[in-house]
Amino acid sequence: MERFVLVVVLLLASIAAQGQVVRVEPPNPTSVDSIILDVGVGTPQQVLQPIVVIGTEVRITFRGSSSTPSVEVHRVSLGRLPAGSYSVIVTMILTDAVDEVVATITLPPYALQVHEGFIVPALDAMALFGLAIGMALGGLLALRR
């Protein structure tokens, strides 16, 4: 039993050292961007659980087997977030072969800054046509003077 505990402790230490947010798309997200995080987790059998956003805290949880330590990058879509500073907390719940929880690892928070963005309204086809006609007429009037 002591050997199993030692193996689990070493496994958890290696996973905690490897798990992290490795990339943010887009690099400087705004409030109108759909934000995607690439998160490195310690085992490939980890399954993403529902993402929870409470205020300025984003909780990302993975759950799964802890039998094969390695690093796999998961793409996590956060969607749009209001402008502000967020603390992204990644937790890995490690389970055994019968889905019993062996350990829970929570990584240090990752600071995510979302800047204020704005949406440029799209013009429909008739509005674009009217704009083109107006510009053409304005150009003709300028030439006549």
What tens digit of pLDDT does each residue of 24-53 get?
999 999 999 999 999 887 666 788 899 999
Instruction: Name the percent of the chain lying above pLDDT 70.
Output: 79
* Widest distance between CA atoms in the chain: 95
pTM of the model: 0.68
Q: Are 26 and 33 in contact (CB under 8 A)?
A: yes
Indicate the domain borders of the chain: 2-120
Q: How confident is the model at residue 17 (pLDDT cuts 50, 70, 90)?
A: very low
Query: Which two structure tokens, joined as six digits, stand for 123?
Result: 């013009």
What is the phi-psi region of residue 55: left when phi exceeds 0, alpha when psi lies from -120 to 50, beta otherwise? Answer: left
The pLDDT mean for the chain works out to 81
Q: What is the per-residue pLDDT across 91-124, written as a single tens digit (0 to 9) for each?
A: 988 888 788 888 888 889 999 999 998 876 776 7
